A and B are shown apart, each in its own frame.
Chain A
Amino acid sequence: MVKFEYKKELDRNGEAVYRPIADVWFKSSTNNWVELHPYIDSGADITLVPYSFGKLLGFRKIFAPREKIGGIGGKMDVICVKSEIKIGDKIIKATIGWAQSENVPALLGRSEIFDEFEVSFKQREKQILFS
């Protein structure tokens, strides 16, 4: 089991908002692990990383055709890459949406991840349990 926490951030009115954050290691094309702290988004079909992070992992545009993802704010191009990620001690081959834009957050989505873990949001306690 891994216990993650909510991070206090400020909204545009300066009021506190708490958001769930994960600790995830992504395997690069050179077999190095890169640690990232993405938001946990149970509403996202897939894990999403901004363009420059995909470049850091060694993703190449020849990997797969572009697809569209839709969300609040409209549609954008992504390239879906199957790559290994590590959460706690568990390594998972996950679908990662490599956004062709920098203007997106890094998100840990459901595909493969929520199949591997029982995910419990305990917002009152500011904790998220992956078991």
Chain B
Amino acid sequence: MSKTTNNYQNFIKTNTSRFKGQWIVLFGKKIVAHGKQADVIYERALKKYPAQKISLAKIPAESTLVLWLSLNTKKN
């Protein structure tokens, strides 16, 4: 069985409700950056932490998530 990363395990256990609507960057048990734009906070975190050791998650703003998505092949 493949192992999931420490970041994943910590994300599952961490209460992230105070970051609703934001991206977070995880480094082990720590949330080392958060904000509205994934690219901005990831690049900021990369200045202090190696890419192989950090991960990203988006915390939903709403309690209801999209339950289905249908790809409409019609172009604009």
Residue from A21, A34, A72 within 8 A of B66 (CB atoms): A72
Do B70 and A52 touch across chains, with their CB atoms under 8 A apart?
Answer: no
Interface string of B61-76 (1 = CB under 8 A from A): 1111111111111111
Residue from B4, B23, B43, B74 within 8 A of A68 (CB atoms): B74
Do A72 and B73 touch across chains, with their CB atoms under 8 A apart?
Answer: no
Q: Please give the number of chain B residues whose Cβ is less than 8 angstroms from any Cβ of chain A in the complex.
A: 42
In Å, the complex CA distance between A104 and B23 comes to 12
Q: A36-B56, A66-B76 are in contact. Are A10 and B17 (CB under 8 A)?
A: yes
From residue B68, how far is it (CB to closest CB) to chain A in Å? 4
Q: Chain B residues near A12: list those with CB within 8 A.
A: 62-63
Do B55 and A72 touch across chains, with their CB atoms under 8 A apart?
Answer: no
Q: Is B36 an interface residue (CB 8 A)?
A: yes
Q: Quick one: closest A residue to B25, CB to CB?
A: A35
* Chain A residues numbered 44-100 whose CB sits less than 8 Å from any CB in chain B: 44-46, 48, 50, 52-53, 55-56, 65-73, 75, 77-78, 80, 88-89, 97
Do A53 and B38 touch across chains, with their CB atoms under 8 A apart?
Answer: yes
A-B contact pairs, 24 of them (CB 8 A): A2-B1, A35-B8, A35-B56, A37-B7, A39-B65, A41-B69, A43-B69, A44-B68, A45-B68, A45-B70, A52-B38, A53-B23, A53-B39, A53-B56, A55-B38, A55-B39, A66-B75, A67-B76, A68-B74, A72-B67, A72-B68, A78-B71, A103-B61, A107-B69
Residues of B within 8 A of A (CB): 1-2, 4-5, 7-8, 11-12, 16-17, 23, 36-40, 42-43, 51-52, 54-58, 60-76
